[in-house]
A and B are shown apart, each in its own frame.
Chain A
């Protein structure tokens, strides 16, 4: 680990404990103590972003599309505001709708006590924020489902060489397949099998989630099995001398020993999953960020490109956030801190 990461880590730690004000004063102390480090960890990223924005706005001015000029940073920033405003307006509408409905029902019940009031759900369109939430729920469900399958499978494969020999070719062949190739198959299978008059979740959600799961599976299976396989043979001998039963052997020795590798696999998976999700949502019409991008593209209004650009930035920020969150979890659960890197 480099010195810079140590600094950023300690800054994060203090941020949790201290109020923003004392955090700032600590930061200014740090600047006083070590100006060189602050230069590289604070100033340079800011300069990088500024230069990027300048190039972006310069380039944008010179690109004419059929939907008008390519959006520059200012236009995109405005769209951030308007998308949020749309969300607020839509929520107000929904509230008003429910209020009206309640009043109407109350009035009818007053007139006719036998009347059982019906509650209709508000059917307004999803706002940008709703779509972010949908995407997050989809990717997390797919990811969790993959972890539930991949980690036990990886452990079994890692422990059993014979089984590994049997399963390995299948993994190696399916690993490089883009999960989007699976999507049509997944769609057809879900349509055929998931028949319910009152579905718990939408088919489009299932399609996207299963696609995400399929792409999460392989890195997790491979990393878990390698982690288990490379278990120190002395530790296996310790377990044998103690006569640990198989389940306890896995629980007390195999699983904790492979935690660093398992989490490396999970982090890789989540990164890929988030990328794949957007494409999957576009194709499966799951009401998430992917669908938002697709709808805006089809819509073709003068704002569309700016709104897509907003989505691009949000997708990037969330992807980064997911990775950092996984890294923090990995740091927290991993006994071998030296193996946790960026």
Chain B
């Protein structure tokens, strides 16, 4: 399999009042077309930053990302992002949210009928066709995330980037969404990078799990190949010794080799930072 995405020796150094802070160093990763890769690691290891660099939303301090032989320098619809908290436009319906993306990406290359069909097709794919004319505040959290995924899929990205897409959902909805995602993946065979905190989710969905060591100066610790047969079924896998082995590999990495030294003090999450920013503005 040929390499679609090459994350090549990227370092990230942030300037802080206390001097430069190295979030991660020498992260190297090659991803083939059609591969589903999970990034897992403790909070603060720079997973999200890696994803944002691939998305082009952040620039690496050194090193670079090459997609299809071209260096990534800015965000673009070929690297669609599914954000953790849906990030739909609240004043638009599900349909209109997808429409904004489709019109922007395909513009004049699709006519009116084709545009409509493509939007509806993508909403069907995530099983949201029954509620496509509802606004985000009228649908549940899981449904919002489905629309977010539909919007990303509708851009027909080279690679789909998911930043803890199901992190804000309850366990049952999350399981349901994982099944849906596997179903879609079976059909479209997208290339995906997903950030997750959930060990089961990582093993269930991925072809490879990239485990990151703790920051500061985090890096890729181990890479675990998941050779479980597809389509995967969570009930059957629960009995599967191979699944159990892979799962315990990840757990061992996270809780033995990379045990967080200071687990009591929670780092400020992105959401909190955003909230405090809004307070300052007000």
Which residues of A approach B to under 8 Å, CB–CB? 226, 229-230, 232-235, 237-238, 240-244, 248, 252-253, 256-257, 259, 335-336
Q: Judging by beta carbons under 8 Å apart, are B91 and A240 in contact? A: no
Q: Considering the complex, which residues of chain B in the window 33-55 have a beta carbon less than 8 Å from any beta carbon of chain A?
A: 55
Q: Judging by beta carbons under 8 Å apart, are B85 and A240 in contact? A: no
Q: Judging by beta carbons under 8 Å apart, are B281 and A252 in contact? A: no
The 9 closest A-B CB pairs, nearest first, are: A335-B91, A234-B87, A240-B75, A256-B91, A230-B278, A242-B104, A230-B281, A241-B75, A234-B83
Q: Judging by beta carbons under 8 Å apart, are B101 and A235 in contact? A: no
B89 near A: Cβ within 8 Å?
A: yes
Closest residue to A259 on the B side, CB-wise?
A: B91
Q: Judging by beta carbons under 8 Å apart, are B77 and A241 in contact? A: yes
Say how far A127's CB is from chain B's closest CB, in angstroms.
45
Q: Judging by beta carbons under 8 Å apart, are B76 and A243 in contact? A: yes
Say how far A259's CB is from chain B's closest CB, in angstroms.
8
- Chain A residues with CB under 8 Å of B277's CB are 230
Q: Judging by beta carbons under 8 Å apart, are B89 and A241 in contact? A: no
Q: Judging by beta carbons under 8 Å apart, are B77 and A235 in contact? A: no
Known contacts A229-B281, A335-B137; can you find 10 more A-B pairs with CB under 8 A?
Answer: A230-B281, A234-B83, A237-B81, A240-B74, A241-B77, A252-B89, A253-B89, A256-B89, A257-B90, A257-B91
Which residues of B approach A to under 8 Å, CB–CB? 55-57, 74-77, 79-81, 83, 85, 87, 89-91, 100-101, 104-105, 135, 137, 155, 274, 277-278, 281-282
Once bound together, how far apart are the Cα atoms of A335 and B155, in whole Å?
A: 26
The contact of A230 among B81, B135, B282, by CB within 8 Å, is B282
Q: Judging by beta carbons under 8 Å apart, are A242 and B90 in contact? A: no
Q: List 17 A-B contacts (CB under 8 A).
A: A226-B281, A229-B281, A234-B85, A237-B83, A241-B76, A241-B81, A242-B100, A242-B155, A243-B77, A252-B89, A252-B100, A253-B89, A257-B90, A335-B91, A335-B135, A336-B90, A336-B137
Closest residue to A333 on the B side, CB-wise?
A: B91
Once bound together, how far apart are the Cα atoms of A252 and B79, in whole Å?
A: 21
Say how far B105's CB is from chain A's closest CB, in angstroms.
7
Q: Judging by beta carbons under 8 Å apart, are A242 and B77 in contact? A: yes
- Chain B residues with CB under 8 Å of A259's CB are 91
Once bound together, how far apart are the Cα atoms of A229 and B76, in whole Å?
A: 23
Q: How many contacts A-B (CB < 8 Å)?
A: 65
Q: Judging by beta carbons under 8 Å apart, are A241 and B80 in contact? A: yes
Say how far B107's CB is from chain A's closest CB, in angstroms.
11
Interface centre among B76, B77, B85, B87 (most CB of A within 10 A): B87
Once bound together, how far apart are the Cα atoms of A243 and B56, in whole Å?
A: 11
Could you tell me the dominant secondary structure of chain A's interface residues? helix
Once bound together, how far apart are the Cα atoms of A230 and B274, in whole Å?
A: 9
Interface centre among A230, A234, A244 (most CB of B within 10 A): A234
Once bound together, how far apart are the Cα atoms of A43 and B127, in whole Å?
A: 51
- Chain A residues with CB under 8 Å of B56's CB are 240
- Chain B residues with CB under 8 Å of A240's CB are 56-57, 74-75
Say how far B240's CB is from chain A's closest CB, in angstroms.
37
Once bound together, how far apart are the Cα atoms of A165 and B78, in whole Å?
A: 36
Once bound together, how far apart are the Cα atoms of A235 and B55, in whole Å?
A: 14
- Chain A residues with CB under 8 Å of B87's CB are 232, 234-235, 237-238
Closest residue to A256 on the B side, CB-wise?
A: B91
Q: Judging by beta carbons under 8 Å apart, are A237 and B90 in contact? A: no
Closest residue to B105 on the A side, CB-wise?
A: A242
- Chain B residues with CB under 8 Å of A226's CB are 281-282
Say how far B118's CB is from chain A's closest CB, in angstroms.
15
Say how far A65's CB is from chain B's closest CB, in angstroms.
47
Interface centre among A230, A241, A336 (most CB of B within 10 A): A241
- Chain B residues with CB under 8 Å of A234's CB are 83, 85, 87
Interface centre among B91, B101, B135 (most CB of A within 10 A): B91
Once bound together, how far apart are the Cα atoms of A256 and B135, in whole Å?
A: 14
Q: Judging by beta carbons under 8 Å apart, are B81 and A232 in contact? A: no
Closest residue to A227 on the B side, CB-wise?
A: B281
- Chain A residues with CB under 8 Å of B100's CB are 242, 252
Closest residue to B85 on the A side, CB-wise?
A: A234
Say how far B139's CB is from chain A's closest CB, in angstroms.
14
Say how far B131's CB is from chain A's closest CB, in angstroms.
17
Q: Judging by beta carbons under 8 Å apart, are A241 and B79 in contact? A: yes
Once bound together, how far apart are the Cα atoms of A235 and B278, in whole Å?
A: 14
- Chain B residues with CB under 8 Å of A335's CB are 90-91, 135, 137
Once bound together, how far apart are the Cα atoms of A233 and B81, in whole Å?
A: 14
Once bound together, how far apart are the Cα atoms of A274 and B279, in whole Å?
A: 31
- Chain A residues with CB under 8 Å of B281's CB are 226, 229-230
Say how far B109's CB is from chain A's closest CB, in angstroms.
15
The contact of B274 among A232, A238, A253, by CB within 8 Å, is A232
